[in-house]
Amino acid sequence: MRVDGGGAAGETPAGQARAAAVVQPGVRLGDELGRPVSVDQVLTNMTSAFAKEARRLQESLQRREADQALLVELAAGNFTGRAYERFENELAAYAMSVLRGWMHSGFIFKLTAARGFSLNPSGDELEELFRKSDAREELAIMTVALALPRFREQALVNGGWRLEGGASLSTYFMGACLYVFPNEVRKRRAQRKKWRLQDSGDPGTAPPPTEGRIDDPCVITVGNQRVCDDLGRVDDRTRAVLALTIDGYTQEEIVELLDEVSVRAIEGVLYRWRQKEQNQQPGGGSDG
């Protein structure tokens, strides 16, 4: 609706509304429920909302400035020592509390899905996390334990966290936890599957001993203890594959647990390790 002579050029809509209310004192607006609300009340509500948002932004900035000061202090000690341990313990306690709450409500699965990790929890999984505190505790402990060193390296040492990024250190760490949590859920699923097969005792439900299982000849030859002794000499990826091999996981399970691309990739890791071990044996690497 056009209103002629509604105000000076360039006047804001709020100013025009106030002018209209002055000229026509009886003019009233309606809220979302259709109840009459005066223009002054609308302007007061808008001012209150802006003030609340301004306070929120100011508090966020103050928290991040405090985090920045703490970061400088921790960096002076190379992110080690008593001060860093105290910081890490406080961060871990905070994260575990938040994670337990997210798991209890199931909200954590929405958060991980938003990051591209669609875990599609079953009803039994949701029920367990809702009812069993020890299940929430176990997942929270493992998630935080694995996220802490990654957070230290990426966010602190390598400068991934920045004051101007908009997130506090604790919020940033919760994001790191959400990238670790999916793997912990997958590990738990694989372990549960393994337990079910062991407990069933039914040959019809368990796979044949050699079907899909990594009974690597080199592992059998040198023995599990020897392999364990050698784990310190290999890279992280090979170490993880060998450790899971010793524990009896299938190739498919290791692919899922380590987020590998395929069973063939796992076979390649084992093949290269086997060749290296054979070459290190007396007379290894020779043709005769």
- Condensed to tens digits (0 to 9), the pLDDT of residues 9-29 reads 455 554 554 444 443 444 455
Burial class (CB in 10 A: 0-12, 13-18, 19+), 112: buried
The bridge status of strand 29-30 relative to strand 36-37 is antiparallel
Q: Model confidence over 48-76: pLDDT tens digits?
A: 777 777 777 778 778 889 989 999 999 99
With beta carbons less than 8 A apart as the criterion, state whether 82 and 164 touch: no
d(CA 26, CA 24): 5
Contacts of 239 (CB under 8 A, 6+ apart): 231
d(CA 288, CA 33): 91
Q: What is the pLDDT of residue 178?
A: 93
Q: What is the pLDDT of residue 22?
A: 44
Q: Model confidence over 180-203: pLDDT tens digits?
A: 999 999 988 888 888 777 666 555
The better pLDDT of the pair 54, 88 is held by 88
**Cα–chain-centroid distance for residue 158?**
19
β-partners of residue 213 are 250
Neighbouring CB atoms inside 10 A of 182's CB total: 20
Residue 83, pLDDT above cutoff 70: yes
* 284 three-state secondary structure: coil
267 closest CA partner among 277, 278, 254, 280: 254
Show the DSSP H helices in the chain as ranges: 13-23, 39-76, 81-105, 107-114, 123-131, 133-151, 169-200, 217-222, 224-230, 236-246, 251-258, 263-280
Mean pLDDT across the stretch 213-234? 52
d(CA 138, CA 206): 27
Q: Which residue has the tokens 């932004």?
A: 57
β-partners of residue 250 are 213
Q: What is the pLDDT of residue 185?
A: 92
Lowest-confidence range among 54-63, 103-112, 209-218, 242-251?
209-218
Q: What is the mean pLDDT of the chain?
A: 76
* 172 three-state secondary structure: helix
Neighbouring CB atoms inside 10 A of 191's CB total: 14
d(CA 210, CA 197): 15
Q: What is the pLDDT of residue 36?
A: 65
Q: How large a percentage of the chain has pLDDT more than 70? A: 69
**Cα–chain-centroid distance for residue 33?**
40
**Single pTM value for the model:** 0.54
Mean pLDDT across the stretch 104-122? 91
β-partners of residue 36 are 30
